[in-house]
Amino acid sequence: MGNTYKIFFRTHIQANKSLQKLHDCLKHLNVKHWAYDFQEFLLTLTSELSDFTRIQLALRSAGYVCHFIKLENMNEANGVSMA
């Protein structure tokens, strides 16, 4: 079984960008669990995909501006962080 990662991005979903479009983009990447905090502008993903840049590029291609914050390996105690 592969590792599961929690990936955090800072992004602002504008009024003309729907959550359905975001959902479709993440589904295409096989991201099964995600949440968006409208107050903190924080997109949290749970995925087996460890390459956050692939997710970030797909989101940018869909019209979202996403800044990578942190990647946590859910199978380990510590993660990788970029601030």
Domain boundaries, the chain: 5-81
Whether the model pTM is above 0.85: no
Domain 5-81 CATH assignment equals 3.30.300.30: no
Task: List per-residue pLDDT tens for the chain, 83 residues long.
Answer: 578 889 999 988 775 567 888 888 888 888 879 998 888 999 999 988 777 888 889 888 888 888 999 989 888 855 455 44
Q: How many CA atoms lie within 13 A of 1 on its CB side?
A: 5
- Strand-pairing partners, residue 67, are 10
Q: Tokens for 60, please give them.
A: 């940018």
